[in-house]
Amino acid sequence: MSNKLRPERFDDLIGQDDIINNLKISVKSAITRGDVLSHCLFYGGAGLGKTTLARALANELDVPIQIANGASLTTNKDVLPYLMKVERGSIFFIDEIHRVNKKVQEYLLTVIEDFRLDIVIPASKNSEGETVSIDIPKFCFVGATTEMGDLVQPFLDRFKLKHFIHQYTVEELRLLLDINAKKMNINISEDAMKVVAKVSRGTPRIANNFLEWLRDYKVANNLQGLHKTEATQALQMQGIDENGLNPIDRKYLKFLEKLPKGTAIGVNTLCSALSLDRQTIENKIEPYLIQQGYIGRTPKGRVLMAREKVS
Ligand code: ADP
């Protein structure tokens, strides 16, 4: 379903006006000059619209797009099928580009700079091994990442256009829900949409997921419409409170709350206390709690900041 909700063109996208205005200039210039768009990097949290922007970019340029995931590019061989298929001006998009193996990142450096592929032909009985170079068409390389710091600097430098995708305001998400509720043919009231927008953590993917859940809730309960009360009940069923906290967030906060005021706690202790791995704690749970002022990260560990906010 979420693919159907994905906007296709720049003007269909909600928010990110500054980025879109910048990209419109870059696109127009590339088209007018008959040149290929410079390599482009989108960075920002999951679900904020990096893939959506890359696809819209391809539509605006009217070029084909190939999509790969960084996690699946572990050797040079894995990128070759994509590189053999690039056309002049087309987009090769790598999502989660920070997960591309570092050696592959280095290999891609020459490729995206000189549009040349160096292919190693291993030695055999009859011939010595050699490296052959082939020129490939000039293409536009687009990367998306949530962890820009994990990219090697020379690789990062190759992206002339870098855009930080920021979180959406509650009003922008309300507008998104309004448009998507119509696309999904769901009768949902204005105040119900406001409730959903508020708990969606500034993220379109989360807002869309909640909207689908509300649709299911409405259908399963045979409701005519969805108002604030029903929306709140549906979200509560998923453990989401009015501040957008989920059961794991609350478990995390409750744990800190039990400690004497101002106690700093290390991540390993949290992993054991919550039975969660470090990555989940650091990348999935803490960013929102920090942004919302619930916790702070100090050199000694995590500290509960807003005791009164924990319900
Ligand atoms: P990311 O690649 O950053 O993880 P996606 O591009 O996959 O995020 O976006 C997740 C979903 O959110 C998409 O399917 C799309 O429907 C929606 N979305 C993202 N950005 C926007 C936007 N600016 N306007 C409208 N919908 C959006």
Confidence of residue 129 (pLDDT cuts 50, 70, 90): confident
CB within 6 Å of ligand 1 — which residues?
2, 5-7, 13-16, 46-52, 144, 176, 204-205, 208
Separation CA 266–CA 264 (nearest Å): 7
Convert the pLDDT of each residue in 20-49 to its tens digit.
Answer: 999 999 999 999 999 999 999 999 999 999
- Residue from 145, 146, 203, 232 carrying the catalytic annotation: 146
Residue 205 among the catalytic residues: yes
How do beta strands 116-121 and 130-135 pair? antiparallel
Confidence of residue 87 (pLDDT cuts 50, 70, 90): very high
Sign of the torsion formed by the C-alpha atoms of 55, 57, 59 and 62: negative
- Residue from 52, 55, 95, 174 carrying the catalytic annotation: 95
* Interval between CA 121 and ligand 1 midpoint (Å): 41
pLDDT average, residue stretch 158-167: 95
Task: Kindly tell me the burial class for residue 221, based on how many C-beta atoms sit within 10 Å of its own C-beta (0-12, 13-18, 19 or more).
Answer: exposed
pLDDT for the residue numbered 310: 56
Separation CA 102–CA 7 (nearest Å): 33
Tokens of 1: 């379903």
* Interval between CA 93 and ligand 1 midpoint (Å): 15
Residue 11 among the catalytic residues: no
Report which protein residue has its CA nearest ligand 1's atom 5: 49
Report which protein residue has its CA nearest ligand 1's atom 11: 205
Tokens of 134: 């082939």
Please state the separation of Cα 125 from the chain's center in Å: 48
pLDDT for the residue numbered 119: 83
* Interval between CA 142 and ligand 1 midpoint (Å): 16
Contact 71, 124 (CB under 8 A): no
Separation CA 290–CA 311 (nearest Å): 16
pLDDT for the residue numbered 204: 97
pLDDT for the residue numbered 9: 96
The string of DSSP letters for 189-210 reads -HHHHHHHHHTSTT-HHHHHHH
